[in-house]
């Protein structure tokens, strides 16, 4: 198969992809989830007309007042939460606190500062504009109004609104289940022995499972760990089948190349997958495989940890987002280089980088490169996306994709 | 006490603040945590010299070869993970796969493409530069080398490196414990009744606990929920004492003003706190209180949900970061306004906003404002920070603080 560009590969993976099923979650677990259906207000907000200040609720004007100030007789006090039944008649007022339900008959609210209080009555020095300092029932939210659209990503602001309207549960898309496996006869579980034990052997610790599990969870996926697989086709086909049964997405690392010990594409096919691509026109990550089996996807990432991680952000994140009801790839922006990229590459290349903010402006520094690359992603919070042959100088603008926060 | 600026308030809160204790976490739970001590490599990486390609490991030159091409006799095959003991003598080579340990005596590695194979021997057409296609033991990491500094925030890249070196556990700062309470006689737990039940009463659902709990967890804190407190000083003092006992930081909402039913500062003092501030020169969030008790902090946020949330990002996030071993406030950058802010404010004001990225450039839109503000934070991923009196026009640059991701 001809190598695909990142955009073509992404399009192939996302084609026809729909959000997974819906589930109810409690508000306490809703942060970061995506609403699977619109939410309508069950009632008005605020549910009653209330004061926005500590002050006085005024009844209708007393026709006998003079024109410059208004005198009201105090008939009671209403605190927040109080259900005292006061009705304000002409020329009367009640002391009210912020959040208090306004007495029947209230025509205006004045803050403490705008009033002079004297025995049993108040003089209003500064009459407020109509509707100030108070909030009518339903002023913020009308009953039945759609307050949040389907597809809304829930954050603290949305949680606040939902709680205020009395919701304790909402319907969201369920999290994608991601079955993770890594392949290679040379791989061992970290911590099974000390590093020194391997000096006279030929094994290394498999690190992709740990790095990818963390990344999958950070993007809303649930990890099903299939562990380390040997370079044996039958074992890999069996793992694929199990992964497809339990997961929505299967991620392999290693074995995505074309040599005698690379079984990923054969394993994907063997488990019933229809291959989408077997090679990409990108560096790192040229050797990557993907297949579709019904509405499930299988992606074979390279075995080299930083290459696997680059493709995770470019291809897997958009799939996780789409399966979870969010849209699209990570967003890209332009930022000036703090340090030149001196060695141009013939292929489109993604560099690990660090974005910082100085004096309100972003700047991006490509990170030092290591031969095998196991340290390549350390300290990175972004990727630089360079077209073939580009060798941008210091200060030149490049395309940047954020993968984590700016410290 | 004189009102403090946001920066003064932050400095008062952060003064003398140190990261909390350290704990060990498994690598699977390390994402987003902060290293409490430097990590040194227990051994070299790679642990043995290995091939970076599928190709051939070449022994020393055979002195009889002609000058233009080199002929080697094949003496075996080494796959990744194989411990076959082959020693390459003059004029011999072994087939090697990516990741395979190189045989003793290897002087160079050539990829398959640079070789012509014929019965039992290979002709090297293109002799590689020294050190290409192979990686010496320790080339990436030297034994004992500091690979991650104390204070490093752990992400997938760091997890990958740690796993590759055999670590299954690391020492990180423990998460700050945040005791949360909200005050107000008018507050009820959402979901205890339908909204309609409150129409003839004077109660509203308390939403701050839910919104702040989500935000605290998103910034690495662990929530201890003290629930809804009545406007009764003794009850609030008791809750403060409990919060100080169980938490590192106590967050109250509501009751931070100066009126007869605002007990937060009295409760903080009553529980042994030394007041740091009782008012801020900022909008929203003018009414906020903070106190210190030993190495613990108490912050009283406004009761209005969006005001509580604004101050959460401005003041509480830096405290959570500092307690968790990270530094500083959320970073601010400059972006052009997509829509003018037409109503200038006498005070420094933070506006809820949405940052989007179009054609590689950020732009920021202030969100519509609502009277009571319960919808103010819906859809926001940023805050705009405007100085007193500012009314910037469309296209003008303003200071922006990101509070969540750009979709």
What is the per-residue DSSP string for B161-229?
Answer: HHHHTT--EEEEEPPPEEEEEEE-TTEE-TTSS-GGGGTTS--EE--HHHHHHHHHHHTT-EEEEEEEE
Same domain? A64 vs A32: no
Same domain? B191 vs B293: yes
Same domain? A282 vs A192: yes
Check if B67 contacts A (Cβ < 8 Å). no
Whole-number pLDDT of residue B258 = 81
CA torsion A16-A18-A20-A26 (nearest 10°) is: 170
Interface of A with B in 89-118 (CB under 8 A): 97-101, 112
Interface of B with A in 272-301 (CB under 8 A): none
Q: How does residue A200 score in pLDDT terms, banded at 50, 70 and 90?
A: low
Asked if the model's pLDDT at residue B57 lies above 90, the reply is yes
**A364 is a domain residue:** yes
Neighbour count for residue B57 (Cβ, 10 Å)? 31
Q: Using CB atoms, which residue from B48, B54, B82 is nearest to A199?
A: B48
In whole numbers, what is the pLDDT of chain B averaged over residues?
93
Whole-number pLDDT of residue B70 = 84
The predicted model gives B175-187 an average pLDDT of 96
pLDDT, tens only, B355-392:
999 999 999 999 987 666 889 999 999 999 999 999 99
Among residues A301, A323, A345, the one where a domain terminates is A323
**Which CATH number do you get for residue A193?**
3.40.980.10
Same domain? B117 vs B228: no
Among residues B105, B135, B165, the one where a domain terminates is B135
**B74 is a domain residue:** yes
Whole-number pLDDT of residue A343 = 84
Whole-number pLDDT of residue A369 = 77
Domain housing B121: 50-135
Check if B129 contacts A (Cβ < 8 Å). no
Rounded to a whole number of angstroms, the distance between the first and last alpha carbons of chain A is 42
Q: Using CB atoms, which residue from A157, A164, A215 is nearest to B380?
A: A157
Check if B160 contacts A (Cβ < 8 Å). yes
pLDDT, tens only, B225-259:
999 999 999 999 999 999 999 999 999 999 998 88
The shortest C-alpha distance from A321 to chain B (Å) reads: 10
Which candidate, A161, A160, A98, places its Cα nearest to that of A135? A98
Check if A168 contacts B (Cβ < 8 Å). yes
Among residues B148, B173, B198, the one where a domain terminates is B173
Q: Which residue of A has its CA nearest to B186?
A: A81
Mention every residue, 6+ apart, whose C-beta is less than 8 A from residue B361.
A333, A334, B336
Asked if the model's pLDDT at residue B170 lies above 80, the reply is yes
**A143 is a domain residue:** no
Same domain? A317 vs A219: yes
Asked if the model's pLDDT at residue A67 lies above 70, the reply is no
Q: Which two tokens stand for residue B285?
A: 């969030």
Q: How does residue B321 score in pLDDT terms, banded at 50, 70 and 90?
A: very high
Q: How does residue B80 score in pLDDT terms, banded at 50, 70 and 90?
A: very high
Check if B130 contacts A (Cβ < 8 Å). no
Q: How does residue B85 score in pLDDT terms, banded at 50, 70 and 90?
A: confident
Same domain? A32 vs A158: yes
Whole-number pLDDT of residue A85 = 85
Q: Which of A299-303, B119-123, B335-339, B402-406 has the lowest mean pLDDT?
A: B402-406
d(CA B158, CA B161): 5
Interface of B with A in 299-358 (CB under 8 A): 303, 305-306, 309, 312, 326-328, 331-334, 352, 357
Verify whether the Cβ–Cβ distance A42 to B196 is below 8 Å.
yes
The predicted model gives A327-352 an average pLDDT of 92
Whole-number pLDDT of residue B400 = 97
Asked if the model's pLDDT at residue A214 lies above 80, the reply is yes
Whole-number pLDDT of residue B375 = 92
Whole-number pLDDT of residue A66 = 60
Q: How does residue B214 score in pLDDT terms, banded at 50, 70 and 90?
A: very high
The predicted model gives B96-117 an average pLDDT of 94
Q: Which residue of B has its CA nearest to A363?
A: B333
d(CA A289, CA B321): 40
Whole-number pLDDT of residue B372 = 64
Asked if the model's pLDDT at residue A197 lies above 70, the reply is no
**A282 is a domain residue:** yes
Are residues A280 and A286 in contact, defined by beta-carbon separation less than 8 angstroms?
yes
Q: How does residue B406 score in pLDDT terms, banded at 50, 70 and 90?
A: confident
Q: Which two tokens stand for residue A67?
A: 């024109």
**B1 is a domain residue:** no
Q: How does residue A244 score in pLDDT terms, banded at 50, 70 and 90?
A: very high
Q: Which two tokens stand for residue A205?
A: 């610790």
Q: Using CB atoms, which residue from A30, A79, A357 is nearest to B333?
A: A357
Q: How does residue A187 score in pLDDT terms, banded at 50, 70 and 90?
A: very high
Contacts 24+ apart (CB under 8 A), B2-8: B2/B279, B3/B277, B3/B279, B3/B280, B3/B281, B3/B286, B4/B277, B4/B279, B4/B280, B4/B281, B5/B280, B5/B281, B5/B282, B5/B348, B6/B280, B6/B282, B6/B314, B6/B315, B6/B348, B8/B277
The shortest C-alpha distance from A370 to chain B (Å) reads: 7
Q: Using CB atoms, which residue from A156, A202, A217 is nearest to B377?
A: A156
Whole-number pLDDT of residue B34 = 97
Whole-number pLDDT of residue A406 = 80
Q: Which residue of A has its CA nearest to B209?
A: A160
Q: Which two tokens stand for residue B308?
A: 């509580």
Whole-number pLDDT of residue B259 = 82
d(CA A389, CA A113): 69
Whole-number pLDDT of residue A194 = 55
Q: Using CB atoms, which residue from A31, A163, A184 is nearest to B205?
A: A163
Check if A235 contacts B (Cβ < 8 Å). no
Verify whether the Cβ–Cβ distance B372 to A141 is below 8 Å.
no
Same domain? B159 vs B209: no
Phi first, then psi: what are they for B38, rounded to 5°? -65, 150
Testing the interface with A: which of B49, B133, B142, B166 to mutate, by most A Cβ within 10 A? B166
Same domain? A301 vs A268: yes
Whole-number pLDDT of residue B261 = 82
Q: What interface predicted TM-score (ipTM) does this complex get? A: 0.94
How many folded domains does chain B comprise?
Answer: 4
The predicted model gives B181-189 an average pLDDT of 93
* Pairing between β-strand B177-183 and β-strand A22-26 as defined by DSSP bridges: unpaired
Q: Which of B90-94, B135-139, B327-331 has the lowest mean pLDDT?
A: B327-331
**Which CATH number do you get for residue A89?**
2.170.190.11
Asked if the model's pLDDT at residue A195 lies above 70, the reply is no
The shortest C-alpha distance from A154 to chain B (Å) reads: 9
Same domain? B367 vs B343: yes
Q: Which residue has the tokens 């910034």?
A: B219
E-state strands within B60-176: 70-78, 92-96, 108-111, 115-118, 121-124, 134-135, 146-148, 169-173
d(CA B30, CA B385): 33
Give the containing element (helix H, strand E) for B232: none
**A338 is a domain residue:** yes
Q: How does residue B395 score in pLDDT terms, banded at 50, 70 and 90?
A: very high
Burial class (CB in 10 A: 0-12, 13-18, 19+), A71: middle
Same domain? A35 vs A58: no
**B407 is a domain residue:** no
**Which CATH number do you get for residue A163?**
3.90.105.10
Instruction: Give the neighbor-by-neighbor strand order of the sheet with A70-78.
Output: A108-111, A55-58, A92-96, A70-78, A121-124, A115-118
Q: How does residue A129 score in pLDDT terms, banded at 50, 70 and 90?
A: confident
Q: Which residue has the tokens 């790839």?
A: A329
Q: Which residue has the tokens 């809160």?
A: B13
Same domain? A286 vs A250: yes
Percent with pLDDT over 70 in chain B: 95
Are residues A268 and A300 in contact, defined by beta-carbon separation less than 8 angstroms?
yes
DSSP A314: I
**B146 is a domain residue:** yes
Same domain? B128 vs B145: no
In whole numbers, what is the pLDDT of chain A averaged over residues?
93
d(CA A288, CA A298): 11
Which chain B residues are within 8 Å of A331, Cβ to Cβ?
357, 406-407
Asked if the model's pLDDT at residue A373 lies above 90, the reply is no
Asked if the model's pLDDT at residue B26 lies above 90, the reply is yes
Check if B18 contacts A (Cβ < 8 Å). no
The predicted model gives B324-344 an average pLDDT of 92
């Amino acid at each position: 198969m001809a190598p695909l560009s990142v955009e073509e590969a992404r399009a192939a993976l996302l084609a026809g992809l729909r959000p997974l099923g819906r589930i109810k979650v409690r508000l306490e677990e809703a942060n970061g989830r995506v609403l699977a259906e619109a939410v309508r207000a069950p009632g008005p907000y605020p549910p009653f007309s209330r004061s926005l200040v500590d002050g006085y609720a005024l009844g209708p004007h007393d026709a006998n007042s003079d024109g410059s100030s208004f005198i009201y007789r105090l008939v009671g006090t209403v605190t927040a939460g109080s259900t005292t039944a006061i009705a304000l008649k002409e020329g009367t007022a009640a002391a009210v606190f912020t959040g208090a339900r306004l007495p029947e008959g209230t025509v205006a609210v004045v803050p403490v500062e705008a009033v002079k209080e004297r025995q049993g009555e108040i003089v209003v020095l500064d009459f407020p504009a109509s509707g100030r300092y108070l909030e009518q029932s339903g002023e913020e939210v009308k009953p039945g109004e759609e307050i949040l659209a389907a597809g809304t990503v829930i954050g603290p602001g949305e949680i606040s609104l939902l709680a205020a309207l009395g919701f304790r549960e909402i319907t969201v898309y369920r999290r994608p289940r991601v079955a993770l496996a890594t392949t290679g006869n040379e791989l061992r579980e970290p911590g099974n022995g000390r590093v020194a034990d391997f000096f006279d052997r030929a094994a290394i610790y498999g690190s992709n499972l740990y790095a990818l599990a963390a990344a999958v969870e950070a993007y809303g996926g649930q990890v099903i760990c299939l562990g380390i697989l040997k370079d044996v086709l039958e074992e890999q086909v069996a793992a694929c089948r199990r992964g497809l049964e339990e997961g929505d997405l299967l991620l392999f690392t290693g074995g995505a190349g074309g040599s005698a010990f690379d079984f990923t594409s054969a394993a994907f096919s063997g488990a019933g997958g229809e291959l989408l691509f077997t090679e990409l026109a990108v560096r790192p990550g040229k050797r990557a495989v993907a297949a579709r089996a019904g509405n499930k996807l299988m992606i074979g990432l390279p075995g080299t940890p930083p290459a696997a991680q680059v493709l995770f952000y470019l291809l897997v994140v958009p799939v996780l987002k789409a399966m979870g009801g969010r849209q699209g790839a990570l967003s890209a922006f332009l930022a000036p280089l703090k340090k030149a990229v001196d060695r141009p590459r013939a292929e489109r290349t993604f560099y690990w980088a660090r974005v910082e903010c100085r004096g309100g402006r972003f700047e991006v520094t490509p990170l030092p490169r290591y031969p095998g690359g196991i340290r390549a992603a350390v300290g990175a919070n972004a990727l630089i996306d360079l077209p073939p042959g580009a060798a941008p100088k210091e200060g030149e603008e490049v395309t940047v994709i954020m993968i984590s926060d700016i410290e």
